[in-house]
Amino acid sequence: MRAGASRRSAASRSARAPRGARTPPASRRCPATRRNRSHGAGHGEAGMRVAIFNVKYSPNLGDGIIAECLEASLAGQPGIAVRSIDLAGRERYGDGLGAGRARILDGLHRLPRPARHLLVRALLGGLLRLRLRPRWRRVLAGCDVAIVGGGQLIADADLNFPLKLAAAAAEMRRRNLPLAVFAVGVAGGWSGAGRRLLRRLFSGDVVHIAVRDAASQACLRALLEPDPPAGLAPALARGPDLCRDPGLLTAEVHPRPPRTRPARPRIGLGITHPAVLRNHADAPDSLHAFDADAYAAMIRALRGAGYDVTCFTNGAAEDEACLEAVRLHLASLAGTAGETAGIHFADRPRAPADLARGIAGFDAVVAHRLHAHIVAYAYGIPSVGLPWDGKLPAFLASVGREAFMVATRADPAEAVAGLVSEALWTGIDVTVRAEAIAQTKQGILRMLESLRAEDARRRCAAPRRRPAVPARFRAASAG
């Protein structure tokens, strides 16, 4: 995060004007600005209506955690109504592909990139044109500003996100909406087609850009420079802000339920399907084979160190299939490799609150998935990272926990028990955690201030009477 962030008060940070703008004294501000700051959503023309493009209803409930935390933080501010738009067209938790997604990912991974791009364009083109864009158009008609984020949305992923983001950008331009790109991760490895599509997102009225780690900052700068898209302020292309992941507010959105301390520490082991790891890993060829046998070996190592183990997932169907394979594998070994006492399998979480409550009940967490760690950290629970991509080590390093990452070429079964013991012994630095949560809130307020300022400027430049916020819009989210 920025140097000196901890020395600046939350009040001064939240009141700061967007980069390059000067905030006039209150007595000289446009009346629309004063109304926007002083009234709640639904008070006639005073409210600001925010659309958030995200993947809220992804089968990986970590994305739902991000969306719910960002929604709650924004909706808690005066004059703000919030609505989420899932980029895949999902309307509720549980929508989308089931366990067959792992087979699709594996099949795509075997095709050459040009063939993958042709297939994805064909599949998404009609969906975007006939179903998603008309729906987005209707929602955006009632909005004043838009946000893209958070999560790992700025990724080529065989043109999946570039196509969706380019389509979303076209609909936002149709409405001339100010845009903030916020709390996103940015991947490398872009194709020429993916880069051209992505630049359409940044050619609109972007007023704020903030990414969640330094690697994302460098990747985005490389994508936008030296020739920033038309309409994008060069300062934004050169220097996107750093911000914290909204998921760090999980403990405030989903308070930790009471629990009794178990006789032995309970370790949550996050199970991720190997096809997901292969498809999204930074270096898939050097990735450890995280199959059922590898997970079983980690479980046995943790049990041997005196811990109870609960296997869980972030909710994706393919991860649940892998969890079942681990269960069956352990059952087949029970007769020769010892008892299965002290080994548990969590029920599948169906909503972000389920995932949050499950993680809140552990004493430590071991996982690949970034938001298993972010949720654990939000509750003050130590975690140990399993390697697969750069997001996780970047987060752990940002809170001073880089030592709790299993080395890429290490045998996880040999490394994990020792790291868990050390993590339990040292715990979480409460001062660093409090600062990270404060930085999360400050980043959201900075982004909101940029959007408020641009919305107020436009309302002063072209005054118009706006209808009251419709009741249907006041809900926190919609597909």
Q: What is the DSSP string of 8-29?
A: S-HHHHHTPPPTT--PPPGGGS
Domain check: are 313 and 402 in the same one?
yes
The DSSP H or E segment spanning 145 is: strand 145-148
* Residue 479 domain flag: no
Predicted structure pTM score: 0.86
Helix, strand, coil content of the chain in percent (nearest 5): 55, 10, 35
- Looking at the structure, do residues 127 and 162 belong to the same domain, yes or no? yes
Crossing angle of helices 292-304/317-337, nearest 10°?
A: 60
What's the total number of domains in the chain? 2
d(CA 277, CA 185) in angstroms, rounded, equals 17
Q: Specify if 463 maps to a domain.
A: yes
In a domain, 435, yes or no: no
Same domain, yes or no: 352 and 334: yes
d(CA 336, CA 320): 26
Residue 199 shares a structural domain with residue 125: yes
pLDDT for residue 112 = 72
Residue 187 forms part of a structural domain: yes
Assess whether 118 and 213 both reside in one domain.
yes
Contact status, residue 235 vs residue 251, Cβ threshold 8 Å: no
Residue 421's CATH number: 3.40.50.2000
The 3-state DSSP class for residue 49 equals: strand
C-beta separation of 35 from 471 below 8 A? no
List Cα–Cα distances, 270 to 236, 366, 377, in angstroms. Answer: 37, 6, 15
Is residue 242 domain-shared with residue 307, that is, in the same domain? no
Position 432 in a domain: no
Q: How far apart are CA 335 and CA 329, in angstroms?
A: 11
Same-domain pairing of 23 and 162: yes
How is 442-465 classified by DSSP, letter by letter?
A: HHHHHHHHHHHHHHHHHHHHS---
Which residue's structure tokens are 């072209």? 462
Tokens of 292: 């059922």
Rounded (10°) angle between helices 192-201 and 214-224: 100
Residues 239, 267 within the same domain: no
In a domain, 434, yes or no: no
Q: 395 and 341 share a domain? A: yes
Q: How far apart are CA 378 and CA 375, in angstroms?
A: 5
Residues 80 and 115 in one domain: yes
204 and 325 both lie in a single domain? no
Q: For residues 59 and 96, is the Cβ–Cβ distance under 8 A?
A: yes
**Predicted confidence pLDDT, tens digits, the chain (479 residues):** 444 444 344 434 333 333 434 444 433 456 555 444 444 444 344 589 999 999 999 999 999 999 999 999 999 999 999 999 999 999 999 876 555 555 665 666 677 767 777 888 888 999 999 999 999 999 999 999 999 999 999 999 889 999 999 999 999 999 999 999 999 999 998 999 999 999 999 987 999 999 999 999 999 999 988 788 887 887 787 789 999 999 999 999 999 999 888 889 999 999 999 988 887 766 555 567 789 999 999 999 999 999 999 999 999 999 999 999 999 999 988 765 445 789 999 999 999 999 999 999 999 999 999 999 999 999 999 999 999 889 999 999 999 999 999 998 889 999 999 999 999 999 999 999 999 999 999 999 999 999 999 999 998 987 655 555 555 555 554 44
Paired with 266 in beta bridges are: 308
Domain assignment present for 170: yes
Confidence (pLDDT) at 287: 65
Domain hosting 20: range is: 5-247+440-473
Residues 33, 156 within the same domain: yes
Place of tokens 């501000």: 29
Flag whether 296 is in a domain: yes
Please give the DSSP secondary-structure letter assigned to residue 405.
B
The answer to whether 184 touches 152, Cβ cutoff 8 Å, is yes
Contact call for residues 34 and 211 (beta carbons, < 8 A): no
Task: State the distance between the two ends of the chain, measured CA to CA, in whole angstroms.
Answer: 33
Q: Which amino acid is it at 479? A: G
